Amino acid sequence: MKQFIVIGNSAAGIAAVESIRSKDRDAKLTVISDEDYTAYCRCVLSYYLAGETPESNLVYRSEKFYKENNIELLLNKKVTRVDPQKNRVILEDNEKLGFDQLVIATGSSPKFPDIKGIRKRGVSGFRTVKDIKEVLGMLPIVKTAVCLGGGLIGLKAAYALKKRGIEVKVIVKSRQILSQLLDKAGADIIQEHLGSQGIEILTGADIIEFLGEGELKAVKLDSGKVIGCEVAIIGKGVSPNVGLVKNTDIRVEEGIILDSFLKTSVENILAAGDCAQTYDIAMEKSQVNALWPNAVEQGALAGKNLVGEGLKYPGSLGMNSVDFFDLPVISMGITRVPKEGNYREFARKVDNSYKKIVLRNNLLVGAILVGKLDNSGIYLELIRKKIDISDIADKLLDVNFSYAKAFDLLGKEDSTYFEIKNK
Amino acid sequence: MKRLYFDVEKCMACKTCEIACCVGHSLSKDLFKVMSEESLPLPLIKIKEKDRKPYPISCRHCQEALCVAACMSGCLTKDKLTGAVLHDKNKCVGCWMCVMVCPYGAIRPDRKRKIPLRCDMCKDLDTPQCVKSCPTKAIIWAEEKELVKK
């Protein structure tokens, strides 16, 4: 009987096992996780910390799932090494498990910049249930929290802590928040909104030292200013968990390099999710897009290809959706026009709503939507399918834009309006 | 799986379906009482137009549902038996990932209630409200196979 191993028990790993089991009920299937928790919704952690959703809602797949699908789940086991030559993985406790085929879905870990005192108690990442529970445990003694980083992690942490009635300051190195997702105009709307809800954001600032003896008492900024705080959340991005394949035949750049079938450079080993580097549809180059929807899509496809379906992965895309104090924002693809290349951008701003599209030649390659999100999925589809949008370019920002307006471009296989199709 | 199809030659864009949908998903289920309900129900079906041609838009309960794949809270699931895409509003956190990925624009955010607005095919009813209400019988509630035969 064949033995499949999936390393990782989150979005990509779960999607992979679901695909595998939809085709192969018999093979031995083992999932290994270095966490001590059933598969959970990582992106919901901030809502849990905010007190907006109970812990029970974190569960993404319960024990029942593993039983019903005949999956052996190994929790709290860290794979330290993949040995492609002997087709086995080696665990931290030196146990060795053999496989016929392997999916690496190890995810990513928070980056901790090299700042003096960053390992003090009270300084935390914002990634795992364990991280969040530690922060929750400290809440009763916390008056002020500092979030380092103006990306989604830092701001979602800030939002959650503010909801808990804690004073929050966000330290952002660049001149705007969400610099990876939004342009200045979009970011300014969010920043003002967060400010109006009592979250203080300091742009153009950085932490140079975490102060306190053992426990965090304050942070020191590069301006010399000292801010007293009991908790600091580090939101400086994530790096792919690829240590387990270092110095093997599996090629790695920033993430594990995959071909268009999500195979690594070793025939019987696939990868998916945050640890993987894939072709980005908008950027047209290989990069890591560490995002939940990409991870699920990749995991599902890797699982299918593991059981021999031979499906091509169309590519990943930067895409994010978030809602801060009832102000929603979506960002997709390229949102800031690069200096080189034939790019054009069009924007429309009304009060607290902002919409921008970015075109490269006759293709839509990116969009920002703040406030009003309607039809964002149609933009995403136009980006994904790389459809020549010349015919509707002038309508994309119209308030009346809808699927109907894009039907001639997108509706070729849509059987919903059958009279049209049958004519 | 039965789902909604639209005979757009018959559709007059009268939006009776939108109203029937609102009433059907209200607390009172009564057109005249609906207006006084605390949160006004919003239609889960919308009539859009292009060059005066109507395009009713509602959730297609896709086979490979992008919204289910993108749903980071696990509140959107595909019912293996019926094929319907189900939504658990207690699990939903209102992140709008589903809105972001729906290629038909068939999911809209209900910002007040923090849940996505999408057709639930009137769950327990034999026939969805919009189908019953359509004065020109432009909304067809059928299996895809049945439709091809017509």
pLDDT tens profile A32-68: 999 999 999 999 999 999 999 999 999 999 999 999 9
Say if A166 is an interface residue toward chain B (CB within 8 Å).
Answer: no
Q: Give the mutation candidate from B55, B92, B140 for the A interface (greatest A CB count, under 10 A).
A: B55
Residue with tokens 């919409």: A355
Facing residue for A404 by CB, picked from B55, B93, B140: B55
CB distance A207 to A171 below 8 Å: yes
d(CA A342, CA A337): 9
Tokens representing A418?
């059958």
Residue with tokens 């939903």: B92
d(CA A237, CA A423): 52
The answer on pLDDT for B95 being more than 60 is yes
**pLDDT, tens digit (0-9, with 9 covering 90-100), for A332-373:** 999 999 999 999 999 999 888 999 999 999 999 999 999 999
Which SS3 state, helix, strand or coil, does residue A411 take?
Answer: helix
**pLDDT, tens digit (0-9, with 9 covering 90-100), for B104-137:** 999 999 999 999 999 999 987 889 999 999 999 9
Determine whether the interchain pair B72/A292 forms a contact, defined as Cβ–Cβ distance below 8 Å: yes
d(CA A156, CA B101): 21
Mean pLDDT, chain B, integer: 93
* Single-letter amino acid code for the residue at B46: K
Determine whether the interchain pair A402/B69 forms a contact, defined as Cβ–Cβ distance below 8 Å: no
Tokens representing B74?
């696990």
Tell me how close the Cα of A152 comes to any Cα of chain B, in angstroms: 13
Determine whether the interchain pair B70/A292 forms a contact, defined as Cβ–Cβ distance below 8 Å: yes
Determine whether the interchain pair A418/B4 forms a contact, defined as Cβ–Cβ distance below 8 Å: no
The pTM score is 0.95
Q: CA dist A248 to A84, A105, A242, A268, Å?
A: 7, 17, 11, 14
Tell me the average pLDDT across B71-93: 95
**pLDDT, tens digit (0-9, with 9 covering 90-100), for A299-338:** 999 999 999 999 999 999 999 999 999 999 999 999 999 9
**pLDDT, tens digit (0-9, with 9 covering 90-100), for A96-130:** 999 999 999 999 999 999 999 999 999 999 999 99
Residue with tokens 């091509």: A312
Q: What is the pLDDT of residue A352?
A: 81
Say if A409 is an interface residue toward chain B (CB within 8 Å).
Answer: no
Tokens representing B120?
């639930």
If phi > 0 it is left, if psi is from -120 to 50 it is alpha, else beta; for residue B52 that is left
Q: Choose the most confident range, by mean pLDDT, from B15-24, B27-36, B38-47, B140-149.
A: B15-24
CB distance A39 to A12 below 8 Å: no
Q: How many CB atoms lie within 10 A of CB A81?
A: 17
Q: ipTM score of the complex? A: 0.95
CB distance A150 to A233 below 8 Å: no
Q: By C-alpha distance, which of A401, A380, A384, A377 is closest to B118?
A: A377
Q: How would residue B39 be classed by pLDDT, with cut points 50, 70 and 90?
A: confident
For residue A11, the chain B residues in CB contact (below 8 A) are 72
* A9 alpha carbon, distance to own chain's centre: 15
For residue B96, the chain A residues in CB contact (below 8 A) are 321-323, 328, 330, 373
CB distance A317 to A385 below 8 Å: no
Tell me the average pLDDT across A167-196: 97
**According to DSSP H, which parts of A329-415 are helical?**
376-385, 407-410
Segment 328-367 of chain A within 8 Å of chain B by CB: 328, 330, 332
CB distance B59 to B50 below 8 Å: no
Q: Which residue of B has its CA nearest to A379?
A: B103
d(CA A152, CA A148): 11
d(CA B72, CA A39): 12
**According to DSSP H, which parts of A72-183 are helical?**
129-138, 152-163
Say if B40 is an interface residue toward chain A (CB within 8 Å).
Answer: no
The answer on pLDDT for A374 being more than 80 is yes
Tokens representing A278?
């894939």
Q: Which residue of A has its CA nearest to B67?
A: A293
**pLDDT, tens digit (0-9, with 9 covering 90-100), for A239-295:** 999 999 999 999 999 999 999 999 999 999 999 999 999 999 999 999 999 999 999
A356: β partners: A347, A368
The answer on pLDDT for A422 being more than 90 is no
Say if B113 is an interface residue toward chain A (CB within 8 Å).
Answer: no
Q: How many helices (H) and strands (E) does chain B have?
A: 6, 8
